[in-house]
Amino acid sequence: MRWTEPLTGRGDHFLELQYVHSVLDAPTAHAWGVRLGHVTVMVHSGSLGTGHLAGTLALNLATSVYPKGLAHPANGFFPLLTGEQNAAALQGMRDALHTAGNFAAVNRLFLVLMATAVLQGTIGDCEFPLLYDAAHNFIWQEDEHWLQRKGATPARGYEAMQGTPFADTGELVLVPGSMGASSVVLAGQGHPQALHSASHGAGRKQARGEAMHAHEDEFRQFLHDFRVVTPIDWRRARADVRAQKLAELKQEAPFAYKGIGPVIQTLEQTGIARPVAELWLLLTVKGW
């Protein structure tokens, strides 16, 4: 079983081999085919540099149709009106966005295919049917409105899911923890004040630069507790190469991220999404 989630970013891309440690909502888990002990593959990746290019193109298009002689917005946000006069620019922005989205889908597909090939070569025949492919950091057109979920993923409820396999459960929501914590699968409740959205992960507690210069004791404990494998053997590398690799690892260490528990509790207590199953980590692959 597999599920994927796209992201345009950098260090927090990952592929994880996990297993279903506990079922928290048995009817929903049964409807989704999620069983205790199932091994799963979760991919959290996206359009990589293509997303940045799409955003730059959208900004250039919005700037090109901004009224001449009018002072540019101080915050750098240029509105792109949806009238007929700006139809070509608007279509160009949508084309760029969809190109990035398509790139992300193919990216995740190939990552899962590679993971499946490795697993099949190691343990024999096995299948990982897709359970869900969730999006975040994307713009949706909903009737006459446009909704951008930045750092969030759709968590629509029963009504919005009519006509889909999730009509009786609410939309499947993935909230990954850090590579030192569990991840949780939830069912969206369609909370209107949250714009039918939920957080797409536990989120960072510290910026990358801050994490690189703190928590030496916790970092040493992390390296002791986890078997960290990188493209180079950083334990035997030259001192400068080893220092660079350790700095990169430190940016993504568990202490740099929020705990998964309070995040899930907030989503549940506010009626945004209800927990369905908890996944425990077997293996994390990062840094492609």
Position 191 scores a pLDDT of: 96
How does pLDDT run across 164-208, given as a tens digit for each residue? 999 999 999 999 887 777 899 999 999 999 999 998 877 666 666
Of the ranges 103-107, 168-172, 252-256, which is most confident?
Answer: 168-172
With 0-12 / 13-18 / 19 or more C-beta atoms within 10 angstroms meaning exposed / middle / buried, residue 272 is buried
Residues 6 or more apart in contact with residue 101 via CB below 8 angstroms = 6, 47, 135, 138
- What is the pTM (predicted TM-score) of this model? 0.81
Confidence of residue 10 (pLDDT cuts 50, 70, 90): very low
